[in-house]
Structure 1
Amino acid sequence: MTPLLLYWLKANLFLCLFYGSYWLLLRNHTFLRLNRVYLLGTLLASFLLPLVQVPGLSLGWLWADEAPVTATVTAEAGYVVSATELTDSAPILPDWPKLLYWAVLAGAVVLSVRAGWRVGRVLWRIHQWPTASQPDHTLVYPPDSQTPTFSFFRYLVLNPADTQSETVRQHELGHIRQWHSVDVLLIELAQALCWPNPALWGYGRAIRETHEFLADRFATEQATTQRDDYARFLVSYAFDLPTDALTHPFSTNQTNFPSLKQRIQMIYKQHTQRRALWKYALILPVTTALLALTTAPEPTSDTSTGALATPGATAQVYVEGVISGKGSTPLPGAFVSVKGASSGATTDLKGHFQLTVPTSTVLTVNARGYQDMELTINPEDGDLVVFGDLRLTPKTAHAPETVSAASASVRVSGVVRASDNSPLPGATIEVKNGQRGTTTDVQGHFQLDAPAGSTLITRFVGFKPQTIPVATNISILNVNVVLDPASATTNVPKPVVEPYRITPSQQSEVFTVVQQVPTFPGGQAKLYRFLGQTLRYPAEAVKKNVSGKVFISFVVNADGRLDQIRVLKGIGAGCDEEAVRVVSLMPNWIPGKQNGRVVAVKYNLPIHFQLDKKPAKATGFNQTGTSANPDDQSQSTATASTSGKPTMTVKPLLRPLMGQEPLYVINGEEITKAEMDAIDPASIESISVWKSGPRLDAYGSKAQYGLVEITLKAK
């Protein structure tokens, strides 16, 4: 059931119970203004309260079948293993929730158009007749004697026979001054949205009865006639003229209006005693009970140390993956859907599927000749979930009771983070000495089916690789991988990614795991030098003090061209656009190879934007912007200062040895630190910081503590 349809059902439940309370307890009271407030207040509350979720206020037995129960135990290796009981998939039935959704929507559109047409017709008729403006209303004089007297917002339409009747005039002014037409339009809108609900038609009759009773009371209080004279006038006025349901006619002979008998009875009715006001206070326990009925409990997981609460969510998750059958061959025609639903996605010829589902969802995979599989989507999985290789088990007449450790497969999932607890999108996880692997999504999550007893290797550019042992006595393994930054002398492995093809095209296929990865011309050092010389810290990011890592994904084609450049995870403030701009300016790469042939390969690249976090000076503030990869050999740095005389400060990533300053060069000429401080930051075109490399050899021992090259803008 979709969240919108569930919201609609909850709103109708509130409407029924609120109107039932009114009909049983309040409809015969003479507290007319309170009745009007109750009807309008509960009408609006019925559409707002379904959006409210009160933690701890729930009748759990009503939601007992909503979420699967997950048992969590601890494996010998120290990792957490989660096992979810598999159940038979539900038979395919007509999608009744979807049919109901479209039926309600169609009825709402028809009734809304009908109400709009009726409002337009009344206004059109009013503007065709002569009018006379008054301080708080506008008199309308229809020439037709068959037009009844009625009011609509500030318009008072008087039948020619009623122009001299002060009693009729005061009654209609009661409707106008109390804005009864607003109530009528609200009821019309609610009836259009929830047209199958009979309670709303009761709401409409109740609010119109209250309007007429209030207008009669207003007329008897304002007019000089007594109550008996007003009642006799109502009887003598009771002729039948056609009226519009959106207006307030003086003569009410329609079914939605109170009868003449009811109006006269209300005029003579003794006022309800004030002690009956306690009935209006019942709205509080009724509302609380309704919230308890409509609030779903938070799903929980039973662990060896107690129940672990898992908050539910209504956000959408994009899910994609590849389903394979016998011999790890792609399985086309497999059906993937939310458990219990008949709609879903079917795998293509390569076994690939994709669909969008709510979080906290269980997916079922059905394929003829194979056992059903269930996949659990949790809120912590993020906005993107990728299943690398889902292998279905063939159905057999007598399946073996045990599976050898060598042939068993373990579902491994988890999160890869840096030592500062930030996720690492694009990190690679591969089976050691195997061809199977995957990459993390934008939240650092991954999932992979690995052979039992194997070893996984986690890699990311600029970090030390880490191994994950896969035990032989488990079926599901959940891990939390923390990678430490690599030292300057560490041989950082090049990135590899998912083992299945992501974006097949008509000309070629895009690989994510290859034997020889693509490289920037000149290697990693030249790549970092290009980034340092080309990247510019966006002014908006400096102004807003925005820093962090932008993860860029692109495809290196077989001819070395870069395309499909996109941001996997950004930080905003212009940094994402700047990272894409720099990557789009890169020259052609050296393409990757697989089995000796040149292929297109998907590549992930992190770009780091960092601002100096030193305390501000007493007379102003200094901000240093750094843009580089964590392994950069060159970086561009710029500083703006508002303290007195403009100054500039360069911040190398490595501290000067023994407190020594690096060598400063402007437009090819060596300068001192003092001369550098005197430069106007606005005149700087670019800054490059060199920690090592052949660039330092040109200056000999002068650059032993580093080199800072500054290029000024052309005058």
Structure 2
Amino acid sequence: MIQYVLESLVFQLIFLLTYDLFLKKETFFQWNRIYLIGTFTLSLILPWIRIEALQALVPNELIVYPSFLWQLDEITVYSKNNNESFFESISWEHMVFGIGMLVMYCWFSIKLFQILRLKHKGDVHYHKDYTKIVVPKSGTAFSFFRNIFLGQDIKQDKQQQIIAHELVHVRQLHTIDLIFFELMRIIFWFNPLVYVYQSKASELHEFIADSEVSKGNKKEQYQLLLSDVFRTQNISFVNQFFKKSLIKKRIVMLQKEKSGKIYRLKYLLLLPVTVSMLLYTSCENEKGRIDSSIRKEKNESFLVVDDLNNMSESEKNIQQRLTDELIQLKSPQTLMVEDGSNSVKLYIDKGEIKKVEVQKNSVEDKKAGSKINGDPTPFNIVDKVPIFPGCENAEDQKSCFMEKIREHITTNFEYPEKAEEMGIQGNVNVLFTITREGQVTGIRMRGPHELLEEETHRIISKLPQMQPGKHQGRIVEVPFSIPIKFEL
């Protein structure tokens, strides 16, 4: 979730910078209106899009997020305390987020109530295209949907021109734009760029209305804008005529010559910007693919690779980095490197590797029923991953498989009572193989305590039979690994 929020925020910032640098000063007001609404919506959708054709492997050096934000493929399971209250079960992050939303929702409701109260106090006149509300003892002027609010203190000779201006807002449904951003402010109250988007949309609405009204007589519009500035309502989702911060900008835009059609080509900038974002969101990275398989428990480190006999350069670099780190430590360390069927164990002490053990198809695996004929095909590279029951018609069967595994673990999980009493928690790395018959065998685990390992074995052994994986047209065995985080 943190990754999604950060990506959305960065995308919004890029879109806003593009707008300010290239589009803001042009008189294509309607196009700019579409740009603001469209790019904000895009920034919420793009982080979820993964296009296989654009996927690439990105080196660690290019990853912008710090390591503590990445927990790919990790499943966290929690102990359940029956005496725990509802509020105690909610994390402080969710609590702060919920309180923020509640405060913003209440503020939105108060502003709606202010508008209803003004309408109730005012003198209401119904017209064909709009409803005019004359507010007593006021000099305010604004519109909200079909309602045009005019203060009683506004002179009669100015009212018609103001109404003509506000009618543009009414006909073009500008209030909907502002309400959209107001709702986004409730959900993303912590994101300052939502407020910037709403401000720029409000600014554009005034430019559009001024442009329409001034077609007949610009001089009158100048005089109206330069006249006394009346009181305004502190409501962010209404189109206010007399808004001091906008008067100068509106006059400047009224004086601008209409932009030439050739300048519409600037909007093509959106294409490379969007493609770059899609490329970024579709990329896989070394850290996500390999570091997610690294776990450290006390004096033991555990690394899962695709194939011990044919390790990639990235995997070799990761292993070397881990080994160098362990050599620097004063206490004895072990590093286990596994690929699902074979393993290498390095014993490190006093700054050097003391012993190396190679294990191949252990007796435990055979007892578990693993029938490995030939090399298994790693999950990451198999052409067709094993099909979990219920994923037969899924468009992305790999994602469906992962989701079903996650659902299975969280549904069947029971925190061991003894482990809870003893305060035991931590990561259990589990490795298993999906055979050519679709059975789960060769379950191996490494964790901080046997109680957690036993619970992990129980959960994984309950996995249903699947349709086996296929690679290069033949049925193959597929090893699979996943870290499960036990947390009190």
Larger helix proportion, structure 1 or 2? 2
Q: Are residues 1:401 and 2:366 paired?
A: no
| Structure 2 unpaired stretches of 5+ | 64-90, 307-339, 373-384, 390-403, 406-430, 446-453, 467-488
Task: Say if 2:9 is the partner of 1:12.
Answer: yes
Give unmatched runs, 5+ long, in structure 1: 67-97, 301-310, 313-338, 341-360, 378-386, 426-441, 444-475, 485-495, 501-508, 514-552, 554-565, 571-715
Mapping of residues 624-663 of structure 1, within 5 Å? none
Matched, 1:171 2:165: yes
The match for 1:141 is 134
Structure 2: which amino acid aligns with 1:160? Answer: Q
Q: 1:142 to 1:478 in 2, by over 3 A?
A: closer
1:362 matched to 2:293? The reply is yes
Structure 1 residue corresponding to 2:260, chosen from 263, 269, 273: 273
TM-score normalised per structure 1 = 0.40
| Cα offset, 1:107, TM superposition | 3.8
User: What pairs with 1:362-381 in structure 2 (closer than 5 Å)?
Assistant: 362=293, 364=295, 366-367=297-298, 370-374=299-303
Q: Is the 8 A contact 2:51 2:278 kept in 1?
A: yes
Aligned mates of 1:478, 1:105 — CA distance in 2 = 42
> Aligned match of 2:30 in 6, 10, 33?
33
Which residue type is aligned with residue 232 of structure 1?
Q
1:568, CA displacement in angstroms?
A: 5.4
**Partner Cα distance (2:438, 2:464) in 1:** 20
Rounded Cα–Cα distance in structure 2 between residues aligned with 1:234 and 1:284: 38
Q: Deviations over 1:423-452 (max 9, x none)?
A: 999xxxxxxxxxxxxxxxx99xxxxxxxxx
Identity value in percent? 22
C-alpha displacement at 1:220, in angstroms? 2.6
Secondary structure of residue in 1 paired with 2:293 = strand
Alpha-carbon deviation of 1:173?
Answer: 1.1
SS in 1 for 2:54: coil
Aligned to 1:573: none
Q: Is the 8 A contact 1:130 1:140 kept in 2?
A: yes
CA–CA distance in 1 between the matches of 2:186 and 2:260? 37
Q: Residue 435 of structure 2 aligns with which residue?
A: 480
Q: CA RMSD of the aligned region, Å?
A: 4.9
Cα contact 1:58–1:291 (8 A) shared by 2: no
User: Pick from 217, 237, 243: which aligns with 2:211?
Assistant: 217
Post-superposition offset of 1:267: 1.7
What secondary structure is seen at the aligned counterpart in 1 of 2:435? strand
Decide whether the 8 Å contact of 1:416 with 1:483 is kept in 2: no
The number of aligned residues is: 338
Q: Which residue matches 1:154?
A: 146
1:307-344 Cα distance to aligned partner (Å, 9 max, x none): xxxx98xxxxxxxxxxxxxxxxxxxxxxxxxx98xxxx
How far residue 478 of structure 1 moved from its aligned partner, in angstroms, is 5.8
The alpha carbon displacement at 1:45 in A equals 1.2
Distance 1:214 1:497 in 2: 68
Q: Distance in 2 between matches of 1:120 and 1:407?
A: 72
> Any residues of structure 2 matched to 1:289-688 within 5 Å, and which?
289-297=276-284, 361-362=292-293, 364=295, 366-367=297-298, 370-374=299-303, 401-403=355-357, 480-482=435-437
Q: TM-score, normalised by structure 2?
A: 0.56
Q: Distance in 2 between matches of 1:135 and 1:106?
A: 43
Map of 1:28-67 to 2, 5 A cutoff? 28-58=25-55, 60-61=57-58
Q: Is the 8 A contact 1:149 1:250 kept in 2?
A: yes
Look up the SS of the partner of 1:140 in the other structure.
strand
Q: Is the 8 A contact 1:5 1:101 kept in 2?
A: no
Tell me, yes or no, if the aligned pair for 2:139 and 2:230 is still in contact at 8 Å: no
Distance of 2:349 and 2:46 partners within structure 1 = 51
AA of the residue aligned to 1:264:
I
Tell me by how many angstroms 1:272 deviates: 0.9
Distance (Å, rounded) in 1 between the aligned partners of 2:297 and 2:434: 28
Deviation string 1:248-293 (CA, Å, 9 cap, x unpaired) is 222112x4xx2x2221222222111111111011111111112222
Cα distance in 2 for residues equivalent to 1:183 and 1:14: 20
More strand by share: 1
Q: 1:294 to 1:477 in 2, by over 3 A?
A: closer
For 1:294 and 1:185, locate their aligned partners in 2 and report how far apart those are by CA, in whole Å. Answer: 29
1:195 to partner: Cα distance: 4.3
1:233, distance to aligned residue in structure 2 (A): 2.0
Partner SS state of residue 222, structure 2: helix
Q: Which residue of 2 aligns with 1:247?
A: 238
The change in CA–CA distance for 1:423 and 1:160 in structure 2 (over 3 A counts) is closer
- The residue identity in structure 2 corresponding to 1:169 is I
Q: Does the 8 Å CA contact 1:139/1:158 hold for their aligned counterparts?
A: yes
Given the superposition, is the C-alpha separation of residues 105 and 50 from structure 1 closer, same or farther in structure 2, using an over 3 Å criterion? Answer: farther
Residue 366 of structure 1 contacts residue 372 of structure 1 at CA under 8 Å; is this kept in 2? yes
State the distance in 1 between where 2:354 and 2:361 align.
13
How far residue 105 of structure 1 moved from its aligned partner, in angstroms, is 5.8
Distance (whole Å) between structure 2 residues aligned to residue 483 and residue 156 of structure 1: 68
* Whole-angstrom distance in 1 between the partners of 2:261 and 2:206: 22
In structure 2, what is the Cα distance between the partners aligned to 1:422 and 1:59? 23
Kept after mapping to 2: 8 A contact 1:414/1:479: no
CA displacement 1:196-221 (0-9 Å, x = unmatched): 54443332222111111111123234
- Deviation of 1:13 (Å): 1.4
Question: Structure 1 residues 50 and 140 mapped into 2: Cα distance closer, same or farther (>3 Å)?
Answer: same
3-state DSSP of counterpart to 1:158: strand
Displacement after TM superposition at 1:499 (Å)? 12
Q: Secondary structure at the match of 2:18?
A: helix
